């Protein structure tokens, strides 16, 4: 995989200060720095973005798919509400790994359903910021496996 896009949805700009008992104290900038180090060691281009606007995420998913890049997607609350994101993934053929910091199934009932999961290649959740590392590593491994086949 030559590039991985890490796309973050609404309120993830508040990471580190928003409900730290659930999401921890690590900031989104910290996550980006961690992944930039991983990307550099693997010679993978990292594109890291956050938006509170659904349309931005749709555009970025389509852009990543067109470039043949893998996507780590933390859609935040849009996970549970956005048919538009689901359709962007399905329609563009984007290779998406869905990520959540918390275990959504251990939280409020409305968080148990994901519109993203059925069109993602996988879901990683409940490991805090390590969820991003695991998703990044999974996409790199899949990219390597695809090169060999």
Active site amino acids: 23, 100
Which residues have C-beta within 8 Å of that of residue 75, sequence separation ≥ 6? 7, 9, 57, 82, 85, 98, 116
Residue with token string 């309120």? 11
The alpha-helical segments, DSSP class H, found in 1-149 are 20-23, 28-42, 54-67, 83-92, 130-148
Q: What are phi and psi of 96, to 5 degrees?
A: -115, 135
Strand order through the sheet with 70-74: 45-50, 3-8, 70-74, 95-100, 122-125
């Amino acid at each position: 995989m030559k590039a991985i896009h890490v796309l973050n949805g609404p309120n993830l700009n508040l990471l580190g200060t928003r409900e730290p008992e659930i999401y921890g104290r690590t900031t989104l900038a910290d996550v980006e720095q961690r992944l930039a180090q991983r990307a550099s060691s693997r010679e993978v281009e990292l594109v890291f973005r956050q938006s509170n606007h659904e349309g931005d995420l749709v555009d970025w998913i389509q852009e990543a798919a067109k470039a043949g890049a893998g996507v780590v997607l933390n859609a935040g609350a849009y996970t549970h509400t956005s048919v538009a994101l689901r359709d962007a993934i399905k329609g563009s053929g984007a290779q998406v790994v869905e990520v959540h910091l918390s275990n959504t199934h251990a939280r409020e009932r409305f968080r148990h359903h994901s519109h993203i999961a059925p069109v993602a290649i996988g879901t990683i959740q409940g490991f805090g910021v390590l969820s991003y590392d695991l998703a990044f590593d999974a996409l790199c491994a899949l990219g390597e496996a695809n090169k060999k086949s």
